[in-house]
């Protein structure tokens, strides 16, 4: 999947992954790769500005933690973030259903 | 990671990233620390896959993206946040101005001539008109006021006597008139 295609839905995907558990940037990327079956070809540097932006909007919170002997910034979803994630996931499902309906072969029923 | 040092690719990358960042202070340090931790973890995992240290770092940097592109994304701060910051500055300036005006008002009320006269009118020396010499500092508020606006008891007595004399002379003029 191309980077521009992924980029448009990056916020929703980050929020969706963080709904499960708080993670640092690297672990978040690995989880995204794992869930997409390695399909997402995302420049790793793009997720940190997105995480900062989501935190600035109050959808995420973060704090320093020592993970595997390294000091890492761990991100957790806020209650506003959960609400936003729910809305974005629902919006995506409506959109993908509509696309699916358009792309699927038409079965014409003639009177 | 034998290649790790002041001139290793990750340190050079972080320096370049910092050079392109518009953020300053804590935010800048936080970004640099987050990115460095990411690149170190990424390269150490590549080292575990039998990649040479320098090569692993270069590969990790390649996967992360060009420093100017990453910095440009950090520099695109949301408009809402900029607006919030501007509002905070306006609020802060207004608060400082209000505090200054409040202090000036209180100072004027405490040390102004009206307030001083009001305080002085309650002072026993002024009420009783005692013969004690009038001081240039008011007994009611010495230290706060340098000059008393009220006349001294002697001056008051002199003025009253002058008024009485004027009244008497006008009365005598009226009675002398045929």
- Tens of pLDDT, residue by residue over A51-107, are 999 999 999 999 999 988 889 999 999 999 999 999 999 999 999 999 999 998 877
Give the ipTM of the model, two decimals please.
Answer: 0.84
Contact B63 A25 (CB under 8 A): no
CB contact under 8 Å between B41 and A70, yes or no, is yes
Looking at residue B155, its pLDDT comes to 77
CB contact under 8 A, A53 and B78: yes
- A12-15 CB contacts, 8 Å cutoff, 24+ apart: A12/A85, A12/A88, A12/A89, A12/A92, A14/A47, A14/A50, A14/A51, A14/A54, A15/A54, A15/A59, A15/A60, A15/A77, A15/A81, A15/A82, A15/A84, A15/A85, A15/A88
A19 pLDDT higher than 60: yes
Using a CB–CB cutoff of 8 Å, tell me whether A72 touches chain B.
Answer: yes
**pLDDT at site A60:** 96
Contact A45 B30 (CB under 8 A): no
pLDDT of residue B176: 57
| pLDDT over 90 at B91, yes or no | no
Evaluate if residue B128 carries a pLDDT over 50: no
Kindly state the tokens that stand for B122.
Answer: 């309650």
Averaged pLDDT for residues B41-54: 89
Tokens 């708080």 found at: A22
Nearest-CB residue to B73 (from A24, A25, A49): A49
The CA dihedral of B112, B114, B115, B117, to the nearest 10 degrees, is 120
pTM above 0.80, yes or no: no
Distance, C-alpha A8 to centroid of its chain:
10
- Amino acid A5: pLDDT: 62
- pLDDT for res B139: 59
Under an 8 A CB cutoff, do A53 and B31 touch? no
User: Which has the minimum average pLDDT: B6-15, B97-106, B141-150?
Assistant: B141-150
Predicted local distance difference test score (pLDDT) of residue B76: 87
Chain B interface, mutation test: which of A48, A55, A58, most B Cβ atoms within 10 Å?
A48
pLDDT band at B2 (very low <50, low <70, confident <90, very high): very low
- A110 contact B CB<8A: no
The whole-number pLDDT of residue B108 equals 82
Contacts of B81 in chain A (CB under 8 A): 56
Residues of B in contact with A32 (CB under 8 A): none
The chain A residue lying nearest B75, using CA atoms, is A49
Is residue A11 predicted with pLDDT exceeding 50?
Answer: yes
CA-to-CA distance for B170 and B174, rounded, in angstroms? 6
pLDDT-derived band of residue B82, with 50, 70 and 90 as boundaries? low
- Give the one of B70, B76, B78 whose C-beta lies nearest to A57's C-beta: B78
* pLDDT, mean of residues B49-64: 91
**Residue B23 pLDDT > 50:** yes
> What is the pLDDT at residue B127?
46
Res. A21: pLDDT tops 50: yes
* Residue B121 DSSP SS3: helix
CB contact under 8 A, A48 and B37: no
Q: What's the pLDDT score for residue B37?
A: 95
């Amino acid at each position: 999947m191309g980077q521009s295609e992924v980029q448009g839905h990056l916020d929703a995907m980050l929020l969706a992954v963080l709904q499960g558990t708080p993670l640092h940037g690297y672990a978040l990327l690995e989880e995204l790769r794992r869930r997409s079956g390695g399909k997402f070809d995302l420049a790793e540097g793009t997720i940190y500005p997105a995480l900062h932006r989501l935190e600035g909007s109050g959808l995420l919170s973060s704090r320093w933690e020592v993970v595997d002997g390294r000091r890492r910034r761990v991100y957790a979803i806020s209650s506003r973030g959960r609400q936003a994630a729910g809305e974005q996931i629902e919006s995506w499902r409506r959109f993908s259903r509509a696309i699916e309906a358009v792309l699927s072969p038409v079965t014409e029923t003639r009177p | 990671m034998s290649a790790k040092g002041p001139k290793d690719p990750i340190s050079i990358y972080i320096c370049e990233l910092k050079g392109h960042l518009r953020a300053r202070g804590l935010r800048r340090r936080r970004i640099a620390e987050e990115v460095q931790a990411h690149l170190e973890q990424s390269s150490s995992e590549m080292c575990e896959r039998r990649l040479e240290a320098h090569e692993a770092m270069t590969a990790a940097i390649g996967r992360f993206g060009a420093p100017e592109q990453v910095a440009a994304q950090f520099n695109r701060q949301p408009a809402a946040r900029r607006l919030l910051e501007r509002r905070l500055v306006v609020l802060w300036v207004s608060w400082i101005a209000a505090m200054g005006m409040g202090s000036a008002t209180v100072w004027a009320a405490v040390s102004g001539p009206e307030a001083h006269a009001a305080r002085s009118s309650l002072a026993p020396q002024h009420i009783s008109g005692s013969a004690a010499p009038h001081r240039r500092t008011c007994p009611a508020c010495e230290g706060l006021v340098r000059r008393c606006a009220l006349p001294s008891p002697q001056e008051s007595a002199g003025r009253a006597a002058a008024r009485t004399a004027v009244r008497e002379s006008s009365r005598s003029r009226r009675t002398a008139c045929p």
